[in-house]
Chains A and B, each alone.
Chain A
Amino acid sequence: MYPSRFGYESPKTVEEAIAILDASGGEAKILAGGQSLVPMLKLRFAAPEMLVDINNIDGLRYINVEADGTVRIGALTRHEDLEYSDVLPTASPVLAAAAHLVADPIVRTRGTFVGSVCHADPQGDWAAAMTALGGHIVAQGPNGKRTIEVKDFVVGPFQNALAYNEIAIEAVIPAPKGKSTGSYLKLERRVGDFATASVAVSLDMVGDVVARAGSALAGVGGRTIDATDAVASLVGQKLTEENIKTAAEAVAAAAEPRSDHRGTSDYKRQIVKTFVIRILTGLAESSQKAA
């Protein structure tokens, strides 16, 4: 199918892009990797009057790790940049684990990390990973920049907190309290399918003690599920078989799965629990080895 007609602008700077968005009065949409927006245009689920293509803006494609461990990801950083990054496996093991599970290898050459968080798909992998990591988005509009916590940024299915004249220019993962550890597990029926259930668990470790814990889920609810409260009991503790089990049950209880063609709700909840146990047990084993 053909998208319906729209105007097209390809500004060279963020300021220019914001001016176009501002002038459009809410009828324009940003085009980043296009891997969610173009399919929606083709099916006419979206019919904006104007597309503002940000791909020609220089300086937005980067993964920067600062001295304190803060990770900054620019708006045009593609999924595959995260997949092949040399720095992420240490700087953010959760992102490194998720990168090759997002979509398929060809979608990953174009789709962007930030665009995916903006898209706010309840099944999107990056919004879940960012939520577990307690990340935030830097938005820029006519009046300058502001920072929005991911949990406030993703306001509902396919809805984010940006004003019509704002661009998400960067995603930020705050510096870990200690060493950043964690992982991302996803059950998919085949490559490129959205998650039947995915689990992100992020733990900052000081020695073998948990200094910060975060968790989030994709595919098991009408929105990205923040399960950070469910793993809060781990903070200040060493990982044990017992507290791992308690946390896994609490995370599974936070899921809101629905039965569908990907599986029954009980099945999905069981997957969530199994994935949390798997991730935490793996972390417990490696922290024992390191100690």
Chain B
Amino acid sequence: MTDLYLQRGRLIDPSSGLDQEGDLLIREGRIEALGPDLTPPEGIRVLDARDLWITPGLIDLHVHLREPGQEYKETIESGCRSAAAGGFTAVCSMPNTTPPNDSRAVTEYILRQAQIANSARVYPLGAISEGQKGERLAEIGEMAEAGICALTDDGFPVMDALLMRRALEYGRTFGLTLCQHAEDSCLSKGGVMNEGIHSTRAGLRGIPAAAETTMVERDIRLVELTGAHYHVAHISTSSAVEAVRQAKARGLPVTCEVTPHHLYLTDHRCLTYDTSTKMNPPLRTDEDVEAMRVGLADGTIDAVATDHAPHSSIEKDIEFEDAAFGIVGLETALPLVLNLVQDGLLTEMQAIDRLSTGPARIYQLPGGSLQIGSVADVTVIDPEYRWQVDPEAFESKGRNTPFTGWNMTGRAIFTVVGGQVVHEQERTTS
């Protein structure tokens, strides 16, 4: 059933600036009407949204679904359920699967599995280079035809500046944004945490901030050269944020995203050798966290994206130096962003923008809007819902989170994709 009526909620839509009490009518998977003066049509399913926010569906630009190839870590099905549980109506899946998504066949496989999963939507990113090897362009045109939303070699930074230039030019031909995992892998070689006083203390090899910043700065020069749209994945250093700020001021088509963990945690956490604090880019310094927050508030950072990276105990319950990079994030992102509203850093409208409208704009995805005619991807949020993070309760197969035991406020109550409720959170009466 793709007709639905959401009753008496607070409608928040960054795409139009709307913020008012009202109802929302969905018919045939699209938003048909909204506002304070609606009445539910006969026979339609009505959801009570009293004290809840009705927002455009949340979109996560950076998710590792692991399928095909590493289904023991996550499947498209479990990843989409995790997304829906976290309030995300769509996720952009990274191509570093086995085999990587560098061809039409893999793109089509992912889209088919997503259709079967019938939960959150999946927008696959295609690889920039064949096999993500950084040598020659993948069949980008064919993948564009098959339905990729953007290009990236995430996990394998494009070190070769000439290949990067060609990718920007070629991707632009097909209207695709190029998303870079910005890291000079020569500078970061062997590193397992941020380089600084804490890596010195811990005796762990460091990844300097300069590994990210120099790459972002180089790429911005290539954007100047090519005019292509460039997006920085999981930005983490204050100097890289500053580089993006200046590029935007110069009118260049540059955007970026930040993860929730880079908005909260610092490299000090690595001193315990807890592998759930190991990710790439690594947790940085207090100054960097502050710069992420400022950048998110002033719009330099366009979106919050989780870099959801599920791993099993085989990759995580081991020595820090050997453990895999990455943490899960889909089910903890929303309250962490809402908490920034509590902190006075963001308005409610900005918080929803960074989780929905902003991401939709970057890859020109459907959704991110409650305007009439929009696809009916909607998230209904209880901003007062209190809960504690228990990884065992995750829908994701991954348990690797640094937020275990954190007390959160805010949760998705209904996750609606194309008018269909794909997740419903039981509400405890307090």
Chains A and B belong together in one complex: no
